[in-house]
Every structure is written in structure tokens, then in C-alpha cells.
Structure 1
Amino acid sequence: MAVIPLSEAHADLVPLVGGKAAGLGELIRAGERVPEGFCVTTEAHRAGVIPEAAVRAAYARLGGGPVAVRSSATVEDLPDASFAGQHHTVLNVVGEADLLAAIGQCWESLWSSRAVAYREARDTDAADVLMAVVVQRMIHPARAGVLFTANPLTGNRTEMLVDVASGLGTEVVDGHANVTHLVLADPTDDAQPGQPLPATTGAPVSPTASAPQPCGPGWRAELRAAGRRVQTHFGTPQDVEWAIDHDGTLWLLQSRPITTLFPLPPQTDDLRVYVEFGNVQGMLRPVTPMGMSTLRKVVAAMVASLGMRMEIVDIGGRLYGDLTDLVRRPATRRRLVRLMSVDFGPRAQAVMEHVLRDPRFAPSGARSRRPTDAALGTALRAVRGILRALARPDAARRRLVAAVDRLRAESTASPQLRTAHDRLRFVRDHGDGDGGGGGGGGGADDITWPIVAGMLASALPAHLLKGVATEDDIHAVLRGVPHNVTIEMDLALWALASAARPHRDLLLDTPPAELAARYLGGALPEIGLSGFLSRYGHRAAAEADVGVPRWAEDPTPVFAAIANYLRLTDPAQAPDRRFARATEDAETALGELAVRARRHRPVRGRIAIFLLRRGRRLAGLRESGKFAGLYRLHAVREQLLLIGSEVFPAADDIMFLTLDEVEAALDGADLGGLVARRRATHRRELRRRVVPVALLSDGTDVESTLPATDDGEGLLRGVGAATGRVTGPARVITDPSTAYLEPGEILVTATTDPGWTPLFLTAAALVTETGAIMAHGPTVAREYGIPAVISVPGATSRIATGQVITVDGAAGTVTTER
């Protein structure tokens, strides 16, 4: 079948007809008005010869005349890849010779530089790509454009967005025409959740000054109705090219999924608001289904410890909390802005302030419940534990270390686990651990309250010394604090790298993945890595997800970090020396602040200095809770992989199932297809670089509706999280496992967690797109003494690797140079 009628194409024939032809065939099958045409299939492309006779015959059946010749590759117009504008289209083709030449041009466009670059950016295997070609009768429109059946700018599924211009729609797509932008909201849907006010219905959005103004509402209603039908047919929001000819007839020229939309929250009857929780753990990547089942319980417990309850939901593989009831409850809505500021960061704070002003989230008048006896008991235990830690910080630290050691011992699986069902029972018993707290009873108290005491001792002095000391002064005092297990880990890795210098050439010249394979195969010289992994091998980037391999399984990131350390040749910049200097500078800053504070605030100053001294002895413990919980998570992962190796083709297939599904698989259920679909979804979400801070249940990305800020040319604004000012070349990194970071480069990334922190030892500064001042990354940056600016929107796309930038941690700005 080298040539088939367009009406015979459909979704199951994508390998034969390509994405565009399949979409057009589906429109025809759904009864939509599509210009008649035919498809030169991938069989012809695979053979490498244009089937001239078949093309001429099909062209004759169209009646000859002008046609549009359009590429239809097997990888375009799909749910996760649009390939928009990457391949060739030739319009107004007349005659057999020109038609055959245009088909050849479409084939050749598969190997254009832009198409190749696009495929490489998406890790698309060129061997999997074939080109079909669509030939359709040419429509000469009076007006044409693109209809998005959901608003691609905000994500709102109750709005449609239209770009319209006079003449050919390709000029809209190519950006060459004067375009009018319209938001279409159906007036009959005013009662739907999230529906915009009636005044916006059909209103222009930022029209170009000289853009043509379409006349009459009829075409809008017809287009809106067509959009609804098309979306219903395909089952997902669509990007539809359309044209209205001079007789007023509406034609649909293409339909493909809108690939940029973030997945919808769970559907509800009322409008709800969800806030993303992953950035608290330094995670923006999607969580595996198995990891999600564990983390939902962890986050719910964390929120409950703050005196609030909410449902934790999975949206696009990310953890979101349903804050609707808290927003509408008078007693809790007042606390939300501060909660967002401290624990989620300034972007979440701005979003929450916007939500609280939205009349759709007005307080409901419901009163808060009186505290229960259990809550009062927890509060009394907290006060006692915090005061005890502040009174005797060294004793509190010893109790914490002992509790962590006990948790590690308790997490070890018994050698008596013989069968997959035995292992699954172990996982069920241990898989709901809090991943960051450790057990119950006194053990939990021994871990929790010293950490809370350290955080309070670090935070309260800024309020006590308002007008006397700035936040930068406080941060300067809290540099180089001891007893932080993450920093101890990073410095241990630096010591390992220093001892491995006799093997410098091997470790620098061999790719980290190859070094990891050789190490696991026992074919690498001993450099001390075994000892490091025995202590820290249960860690990894995105380590809160049980589905993520640990360093002990795949030490590639460790070898990448070692290589970065070995490139450091200036002894003064050695991480251990930098940390020691940070400690000395902090003690000096504390002494100077003590004099100033006691002079200007005799009583409050003494309390503040007492707390800061306690903070320096306790604040470093904040990483210990998560470190402790990871022992249990690691043990659970080991047992899951053992089950997976018995039941599934690949051991880690199990990470794409829930525990109940695993039990069903043990009982004989075939879940291979489900695993494959979830793997594909997970791979697709791994490529997503932007995760909304907050979503409404209609799909609206709340941050996208906030007023735009004008930062000025070359100036990016964020929040200063660690003081200092550094100028240097940027290094944009999305994956720490193979990250290359030269000493003195500025690390620019979306977010960080403890698995990223080995990079901090050689980084000159840190810039992130998300985060809160008290999150892992900024805290470690402060303790290392490197400047950090967080919550810089779009930093990884607005800054390029090699670009010279200036990071000012005091001002909270990043300045880019041309």
C-alpha cells in the first residue's frame, strides 16, 4: 500500500501513514469536513522510491488542480511529540511534476538540521522515524488559524484559545501574519468550575495593532462546537488547524494533541486548588507508582505534624496537596501564606496570596474543631522535647544518633524471608515509614525534637533582632554548622577523591557509567569506594522515591562527582578548607553580632545570641531525619527488587505497580501491559521541565495567571537564600548522575535535594527555579558559604551553559551578560 485514500487512515495506522495523516483520517471518520486527499505511505519511503504511477492516479482522482503537500512522519502529532514545524509543507502545488518534487522535499525534510536537532533533544531514535506524505485539495481561505481546545497558556480546560488571521493558516503557524488572539468561553458553561467571567467570552487577547478583526459571532460558535466534537472524539485537548473559505464553509486541516498541557487533577464537582509538594523534597521529576504510594503517606504525616490535614493526590506523577478546605476555612487560611513562604518558597507564597484573593475561594465560615486530647498531648511532648534539646544540645544529639542507629538495625530484612509473599509482607509492614522521621514512640521524639529545636533556634533570632540584624547577618552566623550528615557525606566523598589521585587519569578519562560498570564487576582498582557506599550507598538524587536506584546499585553519580573533585587544583578551594573557613567566619560573625545585639537589645539580644549558639550545635541535625528514614526505604526497595526478579521480566518493573497490584501479579495476573504503559508515561513526564507550583481542578496553572513582572534586560529576580556575590560561567544541569561541573562554575538547575549536594563542593554559586530558604539545597549552600538565589522562574531556559552571570545572594538577583 504505497498510496491510500486519506479517508482510510486512522490511529492504528500511524506506522504506515504517520501522525498527521492518522489524525486527518480520524477527523473524516468522525464526520468532520476535511479537504479530500490521499497519503503516500511509509512503505514508499522505506523503499526510497516515489510511486509515481500511483501518485499520478490518485492526483487525477482529486481532479488535479492545486494541492497542499504535507509531511506526516511517524513521530509527529503524537500525544508526547508534536514535531510542530520541523518537517516540510508545500502549498499550491499544481501539476504532476511539481507534485512529485514536493513529495521528495517532504522526504528530505526528515533530515533537515532542525528536525535532527529536535529528535536528538527528545532522544528519538532516527531508525524509528519514517516519513509519509499527505496530499490534499487546496483550500483558499478567507480567514484561517489555529484552535486550542484548552488554553495552552494557563492550562484551563474550560477555555478555548484561537489565533486567527486573513488568508492562509500557515502564516499563523509560521508567525508571519498579523494575528488576533481570542479566548472562547461558552456562555452556557458559566456555572462550571473555573469558568472565566462572561465579559471575557470571545474577547481579544493582546491583538496585534494591525491584525484583522473577524466579523460576526457565528464562525466563533461553529468553531467552538467543532472543537468540542474533536476533543471528545480524541479524548484529549487538541491543537486544530482550520480554515473558512470565501463561501463561509469551515474546514479542519489538522488535529493533534496539545503536548504541553500538564495533566489534569482528579475530577471533582467543585473548584479545588492543589499545591505541589515535591519541591520540599527537592523533587520535580515524576515519582514512580510504587514511590507514590509511599510518599503520599509521608507527606500526609508531615502536614499533619503541622496541625493540618489534606488529601495528597497524584497529578502527572507529582505530589500535590488539596488545600481547598484549608483555604476556605477562616482559621487555617491565615496560616497558609506563612506556611508557603517558609516551607514551599516565595513562588508558592505569591500563588497562595492570589488564591486567597479569588472570590471563588472565599471563606466558608466553618469553624475549626477544638484540639483533641491527642493533639494537646503532642504539643506538650513537643515543648518538653524542644526545651530539653536546647538545655543540653550535646546530649540531644547523642540520643538522636542512637535512635538513627536503632532505626538502621530495625530496617534490616530478616534472612528468614524466603518467598515473594514473605517479602511482600515485609514491604507492607515497613513501606509506610515516614521516610524522614523514624519509627514511633520515644525513638521518633529523639529524632524529631532536636531537629525542630535547631530549626527554631535558627529562625527566631531574626525576629528578636529586627532592626539590629538582617537575615543576611543571621545566615552568616549559621554557616559551617557541624553534625550535618549530608555535608559529612560530601566531605567524605572529597576525602575519597583526594586519596584516589594516583588513579586520576583513569577516573577523569573514563565515562562515569563505564567506571560504575567496572566497579560493580570487580574490575576497578580499590579507591575506598566500598567504605563510602557502606555508609552512604542508600542515598541518591530523588531518593525519596523508592523506585529510584540507590548509589549502591548504580554508583555512576558518585564517579561523576569524584571526577569533578579531581579537576579542582587550587588548594585554597579544597572543600574541606572552604568549609573550615565558613565555620571560622561564622564564629567571627557571631561574636560581632553578640556585641551589637547586647548593646542595642540587652534582653532580647542575649536570648537571640543564646539561641544562635544553640542553633550552631543543633541546626546541622535537620538532615538526620530523612537520612534515618532512607534506611527503611532502602530495605523496602531491596525486597521489592527481589520480588520483581522472580515475577517480572525486569526486576524494576515492580516499581510501576502498587502493592495491591503486585499481590495480584503474585496470584497470576498478567500486568505486563500496564507496566509498559506506565513506563511510557513516566518516560514522557521525565522530559517535562516545568511543573506548576499550584493547579486548579480545571487545569489552570495558577502562577500563569499572575501579573507579569518586568525584571529588566539581563536581570532575573529570585530570592536570596545564601549571601555573597559571585561572577562566573553558568553550567545548566538537569541530571546530577553524569553532571560535569568545572571548579568555579555556577550551578543552575530546577531544584536540588541531598543527592545533588556533592556538586556544591566545586560550585561557585547556586541558582534554582524552585525551593524554599529552609530547603535542603539552600541550607547546604549556606553552610558551604556559597551564594544562592532560589525561585528564579525559568532559570534553566533563560540562562545558557557558558554564559557569564552574576549571582547576588543578598539582593536575590541573577544578572546575565550578553
Structure 2
Amino acid sequence: MDCDALVLQLEAGVYVLALSEVTSDMGDLVGGKAAGLGALIRHGERVPEGFCVTTDAHRSGVLPEVEIVEAYERLGGGPVAVRSSATTEDLPDASFAGQHDTVLGVSGTAELIAAVEQCWDSLHSDRATAYREAHEIDQHEVAMAVVVQRMVTPTVAGVLHTANPLTGRRDEMVVDAAPGLGTAVVDGATAVDHYVLDGVARDDSGCLSAAHLDRLRAAGERLAGHFGLPQDVEWAIDAEDVLWLLQSRPITSLFPPPPANGKPLPRVFLEFGHVQGMLRPVTPMGMATLRAQITATLAALGVRVEIVDIGGRLYGDLTDLARSRSSRRRLVKLMAVDFGPRAQAVMRHVLADPRFAPTDDGTGRGAAQQAASLRTAGRAVVGIVRALARPDAARIRMFGAIAQLKARSAAPDDLRTAAERLRFVEARDDTDASDAIMWPIVAGMLAAALPSALLKGVAGADEIHAVLGGMPHNVTIEMDLALWRLAQGVGDHRRLLLDTSPDELAARHLRGTLPDIGMADFLDAYGHRSAAEVDLGVPRWAEDPAPVFAALANYLRVTDPEQGPDQRFHRAAATAEAALEELVARARRRRPVRGRLAGFLLRRARSLAGLREAGKFAGLYPLRESRRQLLLIGAELTDVGLLDHPDDIMFLVLDEVRAAVHEGVDHRGVVAPRRAVYRRELRRRSVPVALLSDGTDIEAVLPRERGDDGTLVGVGASAGRVTGPARVVHDPATAHVEPGEVLVAATTDPGWTPLFLTAAALVTETGAIMAHGPTVAREYGIPAVICVPDATRTISTGQLVTVDGAAGAVTVH
């Protein structure tokens, strides 16, 4: 090594540390793997002796050969394991398992230096780079440390998960083991012995004895306790029957468990967010608002359910309903309209579980609650019958009530201080559900849902779906068509809108430097909307119109007038009316009484079912005003140094805002970790439909249905058959959907609907027949298959797929 290199090395910092000197807070210096090993050593666990080549060496670009050789000689030489330890490795939300290199059985200084260099190089391998991109990790911020440890020669080795990684169950551990090196288990290169440790006695079959499994379970309990999270542990047992721990990191795939609430176990929690078309996490401020709204809405329907936050998502505790003799009989049927077949399947499984057997005390409802439920039932009957009898009058009353709600939601002009604005927000009643708005919607949903039972044996589901296409009075469809008309009128600005990024167009619009294309008028009518719009913490389109410009560009790519959404909607409506007349005539011939009733309901469905979107549309007006006032409070708190950014206020709850406004409490230390958790959860692509209190993902223990030819099986929700290239979309704000492509998404809400206007078909992982996505698909006459598990992971963008809405099947070619 020359003198210049030596000087650079001395100036750079610490290059080599013994693992016994490493502490858990040294992640930036030693990387995730070494930090975890240091923590194991400090907790008294048996870890092979070793040292770490730190990130200081990697960042300076100088390989400290002298220090590495000296540390190697202190180990006594001989075979060592050389393992990558990047700063982004073994994190709570990104394990980087297998993304960086490990070199085993390294002997001699020359091999050791080469192995360290190999680990360095693996930081920028294609697979590691792609992994960081997928997890939105800054490529320029990562650095590589390298762990060198005395090589253990195992007779058996493997991996221990301290929670079941497949089902999420926290009271089960899973062990995979094989004779020899543990790489056989990690790489999947050979058959392994698989053990589930659930407290049941084990025999000595396989490569591990019952005593070995007991020792592994005890180690797993210690490690889960040490780190406070379920762990993924690599281990080895040598010829002297000594158990060595080679690594322990968080299990990153597990969904967070339900919070303990002190009630009798087990408990069952159903995910409620997909009813609103969102599986993304909700901000803390939005969570508090939504919990109150959903609880009040359910109470108005005579149902009492506790809403809890699990992983930033809304889950309802249905345990009491499942154990109630009266409620459990109708629980599965009640889920058909909003929650859909996947939720129905898991609830059937729960009701068959003896742990949820009905109890004598049911839900424990008192006389007052029963009286309230009877009053609600009476109002419901009156409201539903009025709407079915005179649907036109019901619509007039509904839109009048929405106009009044919009007017009432506006804040007074004299609000000046944060305290005044906070009083306005706190005084707003999020739980007010107007009968004039609620019961016409319920009437429309019932009118659309009941005919399938009346026409059983006379008409198939796809025929009924055809009747429900092109329905009028849908505020979201009217929004989409308004944006289409805007696209048709852009004239000479077409190339500007196609060739400029949506973000730049949005910035120019907000600065007032964009030519007038009618966007201001559109946002005046619909700027209070957005994707995930039920979350108070999400920016509205008026604040950030980039998603609208992205949708506008998609519309401008539709060059065939016959494929325009207005024409598609009119064709779907005409087809639906013709299908209605034919279906009713057939039904009346075969079953006169049922046919007449089904015809009446289907005609009322065409008058009322389109109103389904209006309830949420109305609720967005007060939500928009509350958000505006909270952001103004956030700006004031930022000015006085209590927050870093105005929108940090969305990561507080109102009690905390009150403490900041009135007592000067600094919440910046609270906001930062909540933002970090929120960003982590935004990357999660799969959210369990239902959970047990022990963390079990109920759907994971059910048998998966798949066609004999590999066809993906779901539920047909809009008739038709289309073949086209898939477009998998996780974020509608930046999606580019070409005409003729099949839109594949986890779920959709009204903020997604502009994408429907160019899509040839829709495939989603969740949903119900009358949920938002399939409803809009029917409006435009495009096929839809819902409830296709893991569709966004099984299907890739560009793959040719056939969507059969009648059969409820998706074929990947």
C-alpha cells in the first residue's frame, strides 16, 4: 500500500471492529447484519467470533488490507465466513435477504481480501439495485460493511422463524433444517425438514431431535423478547451439539398483529378499508375521522362494531357478532353487498371454528340499544319504501340534502387564529348521516342485489350484471365524463398536454401559467376528490392536480371516437335497457309473480343504484374544509417551530393538536416515526382480508382455488370477454393506461375511475359485486373480474391476459 493510500485510510475513520465491540446503534458504521450480531452477543447469545470491515472503508474506497489481515490472524486464521452487511440490510421493512453476497469456507489472506471485495461489488448488483428501487431506498445513501466470522462446521443447520411467516400466527414458530451447511435451506437447493412448533410434542424423526427443537424454540422466545419483533434466525449445530446463532433479523413480510384490547380471546377482525376502495394506510388524523364515521354509519344501521387500527388500516372487531346466536345467522349474507366473496369465505371459516361458537349472552345488547335498533329499523323501512315508491322524488331530496351539507361545511370568514380554526374542526360532526342521503342509497343497493335470488334458475349472474350497466345518476361517472369533455376541447394544446409531465403541468396550473383549458372549472366542481379521498391526510386534486393531468393524457390517446367514454356509456345503457326488457319478459313467462317483482326491483335499481357514490361524494365537502383548516393550523405551528412542515399535522390526532395549539407542545419527535411507519406501509402490496387476534391471516389457511389450466379464479362482476395486455397499477396518480389494456389493481376507489375510460377490462384482488370498481366497469360496459387473490403479483405488465367476466376467470397467456 502506498503512502497516499495509507494517509487516506487514516483520515477516513474506523475500518475494522471486533463484533464484540459492535452495538445495535452502529448501523450506519457496520450495516444491519453486523449490528444484529453485535446485539446478539450483548444479549449473551452464542455467536461465532469475528470482526467487521466498516462502511468507512467502503465509503473511502480503500480496502484496509493490513487491518483485515491483523484481525484475521487474531481469529487464529483458518476457514471463515465472509458476509455482506449493507446499511439498508435487515431493516424492519426490508430484509435484503439474498440480495448481497456471502462467501463461505474462505481460507488464507488472499481469498479473504477477494471475498471482501466481492461483497463490496454485490452492493451494486442488478438484483440489489432493483430491490432498493422497489423499496424506494436512495441508491446514493447505501454503503457496505463486511462481516468476517470463524466458520462453523455444522452437522445440521437452518432457519427459525419465531412467528409463522405463512399465516402470520404469532404463537407458532417454524423451523426449516437440513444436514450440513444452512445455505441448502436458504437457497432452496435441497429438500429440507419442515417443523411447525405449536406446543405439540414432537418425535425424533427428521434431522432434528425433539430436544433440538426445544432448544430452538427457547432461543426463538429469547430473541423475540430481546428485539420486540418476530425474528428470522439463521442457526447451526456443530459436531459437539453446540447451537450457534449466525443471524437474527426482523421478519419483514408479517402484517402487524391486532392490538390487545383486554376482551376474551380469540377475536376476529375484518378489513373495512377496501369497502371504500383503499388498501393503502390511513394517516393518523384520517384514521381518527374514519373510525368515528364508520362507527356512526354502522350504528345507524343497528350494528355496533369496534373499529381498530391495524397496520394503518381499518379493521372491525366482529367477534361479538360472530358469537351472537341472532347475528351469526345473517353475518355471511350481510357481507355479500359491500365486503364480497373473499370476506364471506373467511367468515364461514370463522363461524365453523368451535372457538367462535355462539354464547348465551349474544352481543349483550341492553334494552336501550335494542330500542335504538328498532327505531333505526323503523326509519330504514320508511326511507327505503319511500325511495322505491318514488325514486325521482328521493333523488331530488338527496341532492338537496347534499347541497345543504356543502353549504354548511364552509368555514366562517372570520377565523383568524389556530385556536379558532381548531374549535371549528372540533365542532364539526363527522357522524351526521342524513336519512335523505342514506336510505335511497340502501334502497338502490337492495334493488340491485335481491333480483339474483328471485331469478335463480331463470337468469345467470352475468345477465343481471348486464342490466346494471350504464346506470344514470352516478356522480363519479359524471365526473369522468366531464373530464372527457374537457379533453375533447383542448384544441391546439393537445401536444402540450401529451408531451409535458403531469407534475410540471400541475405546477404550471397552480402558478397560473398554463393556458386555459377548462381545468379550473373542473377542479371547482371536483377538486375536493382524490385517490384514497376518504383519508383526511391525503392531498385533494385542487392541491395537487397532477393525477388529473395524467388521466387527461390517457384520454387524449383515445383516437377512435367509438371508444370514447361517452359512447361506451351510452352503449352500455342501451344494452342494459334492452337486456332488462328481455329478462323481465322471460321471467314473467316462467315465474309470473317473481318475474314481476324482479322487474320492479331492477327498474328501481336503474333509477337508484347509481346514487351509491353520492353519499361519499357528499361527505367529502366537510372533509375538504377540515383539511384546509388543519393545514392552516399546521402552518402556524410550523412558524413557531412546533412542526417541521404544515402537513405534519396529519400525523397527529386532535388531542395532540390541541396540546400544541394551547400548551405549545412540540410534536416533531412524534411525527417523524409515524411518517416512517406510514411510508413503510405504503409499500405493502398485500393486506389481509381478516385477522385473528394471534396475528393469523385467516385467508392464508384456506385452500386456494385455481383453474385446472392455471387460470386465475375470481368472481365475475361485469359481463364480457376481452383479451389484451395487462397494465398492473399500484398508484393511479402516475398511471399510463393505453386504450385496450387490462387494468389490474389491488382495489380501486373513485380517484381511479379516469383510468377506466381507456381500460378494456378490470381485474382486482378485492371487492364486492356492488362495490365501486365493478359498478363503474358495468357503467362503461367493460368486463370485470374481482376477488382474484394476488393478481397484482401473479400478473405482470405487458402479459397478454383474457378476462372473462361471465366465468369470473382470468387467463394469463
Normalising by the smaller structure, the TM-score range is over 0.9
Look up the match of 2:8: none
Look up the match of 2:219: 226
Per-residue CA deviations over 1:670-708 (Å, capped at 9, x if unaligned) read 110110000000000000001001111111111111123
Look up the match of 1:518: 508
SS of the residue corresponding to residue 25 of structure 2 reads helix
Question: 2:265 matched to 1:270?
Answer: yes
| Structure 1 residue 14: Cα displacement | 0.3
SS of the residue corresponding to residue 10 of structure 1 reads coil
Summarize the alignment of residues 455-494 of structure 1 with structure 2, pairs less than 5 Å apart.
455-494=445-484
Q: 1:182, 1:203 within 8 Å by CA — same for their partners in 2? A: no
Question: 2:749 matched to 1:756?
Answer: no
| Structure 1 residue 792: Cα displacement | 0.0
| Structure 1 residue 29: Cα displacement | 0.3
Look up the match of 1:500: 490
Q: 1:501, 1:566 within 8 Å by CA — same for their partners in 2? A: no
SS of the residue corresponding to residue 705 of structure 2 reads coil
Q: 1:183, 1:203 within 8 Å by CA — same for their partners in 2? A: no
Look up the match of 1:315: 310
Structure 1: any 5+ residue segments left out of the alignment? Answer: 187-197, 205-211
Look up the match of 1:16: 29
2: CA distance, partners of 1:518 / 1:203? 71
Look up the match of 1:325: 320
2: CA distance, partners of 1:30 / 1:130? 26
Per-residue CA deviations over 1:467-495 (Å, capped at 9, x if unaligned) read 22222222212211111100000000100
Look up the match of 1:29: 42
Look up the match of 2:3: none
Per-residue CA deviations over 1:27-47 (Å, capped at 9, x if unaligned) read 000000000001111111111
Look up the match of 2:299: 304
Look up the match of 1:408: 406
| Structure 1 residue 215: Cα displacement | 4.5
For 1:266, the aligned partner's letter is P
Question: 2:141 matched to 1:128?
Answer: yes
| Structure 1 residue 164: Cα displacement | 0.3
1: CA distance, partners of 2:87 / 2:554? 40
1: CA distance, partners of 2:134 / 2:209? 43
Look up the match of 1:208: none
Tell me which of 581, 585, 595 is aligned to 1:595: 585
Look up the match of 2:778: 782
Tell me which of 290, 296, 319 is aligned to 1:295: 290
1: CA distance, partners of 2:781 / 2:300? 31
Q: 2:81, 2:103 within 8 Å by CA — same for their partners in 1? A: yes
SS of the residue corresponding to residue 737 of structure 2 reads coil
Look up the match of 1:610: 600
For 2:234, the aligned partner's letter is E
Summarize the alignment of residues 174-193 of structure 1 with structure 2, pairs less than 5 Å apart.
174-186=187-199
Q: 1:183, 1:202 within 8 Å by CA — same for their partners in 2? A: no
SS of the residue corresponding to residue 127 of structure 1 reads coil
Moved more, 267-276 or 559-568: 267-276
1: CA distance, partners of 2:545 / 2:207? 61
Look up the match of 2:336: 341
For 2:647, the aligned partner's letter is D
Per-residue CA deviations over 1:535-565 (Å, capped at 9, x if unaligned) read 1000001100000000000001100110000
Look up the match of 1:193: none
2: CA distance, partners of 1:463 / 1:241? 55
Relative to structure 1, is the Cα distance of residues 489 and 125 closer, same or farther in structure 2, using a 3 angstrom cutoff?
same
Question: 2:722 matched to 1:709?
Answer: no
Per the normalisation by structure 1, the TM-score is 0.95
1: CA distance, partners of 2:314 / 2:670? 21
Per-residue CA deviations over 1:194-249 (Å, capped at 9, x if unaligned) read xxxx3xx5489xxxxxxx92253111111111111111111111111000000100
Per-residue CA deviations over 1:115-164 (Å, capped at 9, x if unaligned) read 11111111211111011111110000000001001110111110110110
Question: 2:72 matched to 1:59?
Answer: yes
Look up the match of 1:556: 546
Tell me which of 89, 94, 97 is aligned to 2:107: 94
SS of the residue corresponding to residue 684 of structure 1 reads helix
Look up the match of 1:672: 668
Per-residue CA deviations over 1:240-281 (Å, capped at 9, x if unaligned) read 100000010000001111101100111245211111000100
For 1:580, the aligned partner's letter is H
Look up the match of 1:355: 350
Per-residue CA deviations over 1:69-109 (Å, capped at 9, x if unaligned) read 11111000111111111111111111111111111111111
Per the normalisation by structure 2, the TM-score is 0.95
Q: 1:185, 1:202 within 8 Å by CA — same for their partners in 2? A: no
2: CA distance, partners of 1:262 / 1:518? 40
Look up the match of 1:433: 430
1: CA distance, partners of 2:357 / 2:668? 47
SS of the residue corresponding to residue 633 of structure 2 reads helix
Question: 2:377 matched to 1:364?
Answer: no
Q: 1:238, 1:258 within 8 Å by CA — same for their partners in 2? A: yes
Per-residue CA deviations over 1:436-456 (Å, capped at 9, x if unaligned) read xxx45xxx1211122222222
1: CA distance, partners of 2:209 / 2:381? 69
Aligned length: 789
Q: CA RMSD in A?
A: 1.4
2: CA distance, partners of 1:76 / 1:703? 30
| Structure 1 residue 403: Cα displacement | 0.8
1: CA distance, partners of 2:756 / 2:731? 14
| Structure 1 residue 367: Cα displacement | 4.3
2: CA distance, partners of 1:343 / 1:119? 37
Q: 2:532, 2:749 within 8 Å by CA — same for their partners in 1? A: yes
SS of the residue corresponding to residue 330 of structure 1 reads coil
Question: How many percent of aligned residue pairs carry the same amino acid?
Answer: 68
Q: 2:170, 2:695 within 8 Å by CA — same for their partners in 1? A: yes
Structure 2: any 5+ residue segments left out of the alignment? Answer: 1-13, 638-642
Tell me which of 717, 720, 724 is aligned to 1:728: 724
Q: 1:289, 1:657 within 8 Å by CA — same for their partners in 2? A: yes
Tell me which of 407, 415, 418 is aligned to 1:417: 415
Question: 2:703 matched to 1:687?
Answer: no
Tell me which of 349, 359, 375 is aligned to 1:377: 375
1: CA distance, partners of 2:451 / 2:123? 62
1: CA distance, partners of 2:423 / 2:542? 24
